[in-house]
Amino acid sequence: MGSSATRISAQPALSDLENGDIIMRETIGFRSFVPIFVPKLLKRDALMFRKIGVLGCEAAINGNIQLPAEIVAELQWLIEQGVVFDLRISDLNKSDSVDDETKRLVGDWIRLEGHYQGKVEQIVKKMEEELAQEFKVDEYESTIRTIKALLGAAISSELFLRPFSAYYRNNKNIDAHPLFYGEYPELTQQTASTGEVIDITINQLPVPDDSTAWEQIIDYRNDPDTEIKFRRFRVWMNEIVRAKLTPKEIEDKLEYLLDEYRQHMELHFKKTNTSTLETILVALGDRKFGDIVKIPFSVKHRQIALLEAEAKAPGREIAFISKAQETFHQ
């Protein structure tokens, strides 16, 4: 992990579409405590969100959760860089500052948690026979308890992200979105909300591997071209929310636009590459000073041609996704 002191500015916010008004607000993502144990899981989130709230990350840094030193150092660095910040459940216990929607969602959390804890029992029961063959009696019972505890805690903290999101939206004027690792059909709506559009699109982003340093992700995010593409992509997501499509329709539309955009850009890339290569080969073959001098201008012309191609490309509004996939090799 590097020691760069680069500060990260707030990601341009998605628009709030309530009452037909477009209000620009800071947009952040929320995660359960799972990335505390595997911080690299946040790399994909960081391609879209400048800030990610994680339940309990400060507790981990303060030593309340036993973790390897390298993981603690990585979490500490991410907090210093402004990529990650701590979500405190205690914030929701302040009844005088908690709005009605947040209180309602806390009530929903109690109901849903009971429902999913029942599912945890079912999942573990299916695993019992296999585990019994792998572990001794005393180890088996300990393993079952550990699995139940981890699954239960992970699901509980995931469901708690919904009231957290409402609290930040209503009390801090921040466009906050819960990001789930699991699937929760009970939360799915007939037409996609902004949060569901984000879930669908973030699943199209690549997952940077271990060889990708956090500094590379920060450099990518700070690239002016990336910022332009993200703003264009943000407008597209707002339009998708207005269209009231189903999640499946959004997935199909996104795949179609990605294919259209890639095909268009690949065609123009081949054309401009061929033209530039021909100019260089002719100049070097003839060894004419005047033609060699033209080479930088030919390369510049190629760059301009590609920019013009992108400006006319079908599906250019989702170029942010395509660039991320190319940069991080999905």
Digit-coded pLDDT (tens) for 154-167: 888 888 898 999 89
Classify the phi-psi angles of 187: left when phi > 0, otherwise alpha if psi is within -120 to 50, otherwise beta: alpha
**64: in domain:** yes
Quote the number of domains for the chain.
1
**130: in domain:** yes
In sequence order, what are the residues at sequence separation of 6 or more whose Cβ sits closer than 8 angstroms to the Cβ of residue 157? 32, 33, 34, 55, 56
| Largest CA-CA distance found in the chain, in angstroms, rounded | 84
292 DSSP β-pair partners: none
What span, in angstroms and rounded, lies between the C-alpha atoms of 48 and 321? Answer: 9
Q: Residue 281, Cβ neighbours under 10 Å: how many?
A: 10
Q: What is the value of pTM for the model shown?
A: 0.72
Q: Could you tell me what percentage of the chain is helix, strand and coil, using 3-state DSSP and rounding each to the nearest 5?
A: 70, 5, 25
What span, in angstroms and rounded, lies between the C-alpha atoms of 169 and 102? Answer: 10
Question: Would you state the pLDDT for residue 267?
Answer: 65
pLDDT of 84 above 90: yes
Give the chain's length. 330
Question: Would you state the pLDDT for residue 190?
Answer: 54
**290: in domain:** no
pLDDT of 273 above 90: no
pLDDT of 7 above 60: no
From the list 230, 213, 199, the residue with the least C-alpha distance to 319 is: 230
Question: Would you state the pLDDT for residue 19?
Answer: 37
Q: Residue 179, Cβ neighbours under 10 Å: how many?
A: 24
**114: in domain:** yes
Q: How far is CA 273 from CA 45, 107, 265, 269, 300, in A?
A: 34, 60, 12, 6, 12
**217: in domain:** no
Q: How far is CA 53 from CA 18, 161, 198, in A?
A: 24, 10, 16
**321: in domain:** no
The mean pLDDT of 211-223, rounded to a whole number, is 91
**323: in domain:** no
**27: in domain:** yes
Question: Would you state the pLDDT for residue 46?
Answer: 93
The winner for highest mean pLDDT among 182-191, 275-284, 294-303 is: 182-191
Domain of 118, in residue numbers: 15-211
